[in-house]
Amino acid sequence: MLKGPFENDNHGVRETLIFAALVYPVMLRPFLTVLVLLSGPTFAAEEALFQASPLTEKGLFTDGIEGPACDEAGNIYCVKFGGEHTLGKTSPQGKAALFVNLPTGSTANGIRLGPDGFLYVADYTGHNILKVNRQTGETIVWAHEPTLNQPNDLAILDDGSFYASDPNWKAGTGQIWRISREGKFTKVAPDMGTTNGIDVSPDGKTLYVNESVQRKVWAFSIESDGSLNNKRLLREFPDFGFDGMRLDVKGNLYITRHGKGTVVKLSPKGDILREITLPGSNPSNICFGGPDGRTAYVTEMQNGQLVQFRVDQPGLEWQRLQDWRAADQEKKPAQVKTAAAIRDVCAWPNLTTLRDGTVIAVVHNQPGHGTMEGDIDCWASKDGLAWEKRSTITRHVPHTIRMNHAVGLAANGDLIVLCSGWTDVKQPQRPKQAPFRDDILSNWVLRSTDGGRTWTQHENFPAPEDGWTHYIPFGDIWARDGALYTSCYHGQFTDATKSTKTKGYRSWLFRSDDDGASWKAVSVIGARHNETDLFPLGGKSWLAAARVEAMDLYRSDDDGATWQAPLRVTGRNEINGHLTRLKDGRLLLTYGVRVARQYGVRAKFSSDDGTTWSDPIRVAHSHSWDCGYPSSVQLANGDIVTAYYSKDSPLYSGYHMGVAVWKL
């Protein structure tokens, strides 16, 4: 534990305060609700909130107690149980015992529980992040950076990466580091005061850090690459010091006030909501736990003990732990093999099976979400795991990008592709827009007669209606009864003279009666939907999985002339969807999941052509919301191949096409 001088402005007395900050998810001690009978109905007595009391006896920990983190059973892990180089473990009932002795030369401070179930511990004398196995107590150096001052406290993100505060107490300065899942340190904020408590907002977009000596709380915007931007002062205090802090699920900050003996609760805007008085003047860190996540545990140095109080909202880290556990417990395929099949591409893959059994993947070939010049490529595979590039399908005009696509087979087995995109060229009717957002490009129609090795191209697609964008293709193309069918969508401009922003979408059924040479709009599928995957049930019946805030399933029994009111088949932010028929007759719906701490791909099954659906199973995981767009086919051997894209997953850190080859 390092020391730093602080001026107590209330008394004009210079005090030396001991600081170390770090916390992790906490499980809390159960509290009983007292029931009161009131002349008839039974009511629960109002629970006492924000009233602190000791959890452990005084003196079980040294005056350097720090770093609380709580596991799924409600046990709280703290540093310095009866000695300087130890971790202690406290039960929800307050019984504390030695958990592990740390390696020689290591002194622990902040603790976090990772998605893998290991404890991650800031070792401020060894300049390490230690990794502790909770079952065996085995402790290893997971990450080391010799140029660190400490580190002091840690903040963990949904993907298992970290930020670390790193103060220099003697100089009164500090910095912030980012630590990747692979343990690589990158300095992201070099010119700070004495950085201490640190945590991340519920949406993962804001990093908060306090400076102990300077008594300031800062907020940073977290960029997609983990770098920090837009530093802004959230709150400054006139007296006493800061130490560890944690957030609740509403984004409120709980900051320990060393020397004052309180925990202050700030809103995400920096307003003081309340201040909780503790038994002891030197709180050093805080975490949340308990059965409902609403018990705060505070490490208090003056008495060398843990203190607890109830709060009104669960702790964010506790909620993150529940979500991680739920993801681990999701139903999964009986067998699954995964791979980052095509790397450094944003992909948005579409899978199509050729007549010889070869699986074709059409993918966008740039590692960005439509932010740079690029095209779509054709790749081929026999087993869904090993892929070989066959061609680049489009040849974009300079300053444009070709990326949105629909793919399928013509009646004779030729590959048919529709592809649109964006231009980065200023349009005469409006000001310059953001990069590659100046206008949507009209569709190209592309055809391959040799399995995707070579392509012909022509442009013959309907022009947009006034006030609407060009049509954007999505999903599969189907050959039925001498015609080709697919889906496109377009957006209605808010004001086409000012920007390309849209105020609504419509998805359409399109048909070609001349084998793809020309196309016409048949009917509106979804009046406010965009990316829509079309699927033929047989006869004149069709399904269409249409994206809005979730996936809605439309049905037509008159060859697409009209569409019935939709059935919602996924939850909010479970998008986009793809339909295919399995060999056992069931329909398979695969869809992306953009729900925090659940990112990836799930699947559902229907035995009645989409009327009812099974519970979901987990097919793939992603560390980023920037994921999904699955497409699935079934091989002759019964294996299901699901391709999807992710910006960052357990398979690869960077944009890629992931694949899962699985059996039920």
Would you name the residues annotated as active-site residues? 243
Cα 367 to Cα 372, 475, 595, 657, distances in angstroms: 9, 21, 22, 10
The rounded distance, in Å, linking the Cα atoms of 593 and 591 is 7
Q: Which of 91, 112, 55, 132 is nearest to 299 (CA)?
A: 55
Helix (H) or strand (E) holding 320: helix 316-329
Q: What are the residue ranges of helices labelled H in 348-407? A: none
Q: Looking at this protein, which amino acid is placed at residue 259?
A: G
Which amino acid type is present at position 273? L
Rounded Cα gap, residues 122 and 23, in angstroms: 10
Q: Which residues pair with 70 in a beta bridge?
A: 76
| CA dist., res. 60 & res. 80, Å (int) | 9
Between strands 139-144 and 128-132, the pairing is antiparallel
Backbone angles phi, psi at 287, to 5 degrees: -150, 175
- Rounded to whole angstroms, the Cα distance separating 201 from 503 reads 29
Binding residues for substrate: 152
- In the annotated binding site, the residues are 66, 152, 196, 243
Residue 181 near residue 161, CB atoms below 8 Å: yes
Cα 68 from Cα 260, distance rounded (Å): 20
CB-based contacts of 561, cutoff 8 Å, min separation 6: 522, 523
DSSP string, 225-270: TS-EEEEEEEEE-SSS----EEEBTT--EEEEETTTTEEEEE-TT-
How far is residue 512 from each of residues 478, 521, 579, measured CA to CA in Å? 10, 9, 21
Separate counts of helices (H) and strands (E) for the chain: 1, 52
Nearest 5°: phi and psi at 239? -150, 170
d(CA 177, CA 150): 11
Sequence-separated (6 or more) residues with CB below 8 Å from residue 283: 243, 256, 257, 258, 261, 262, 263, 298, 299, 300, 301, 307
Residues contributing to the annotated binding site for a divalent metal cation = 66, 196, 243
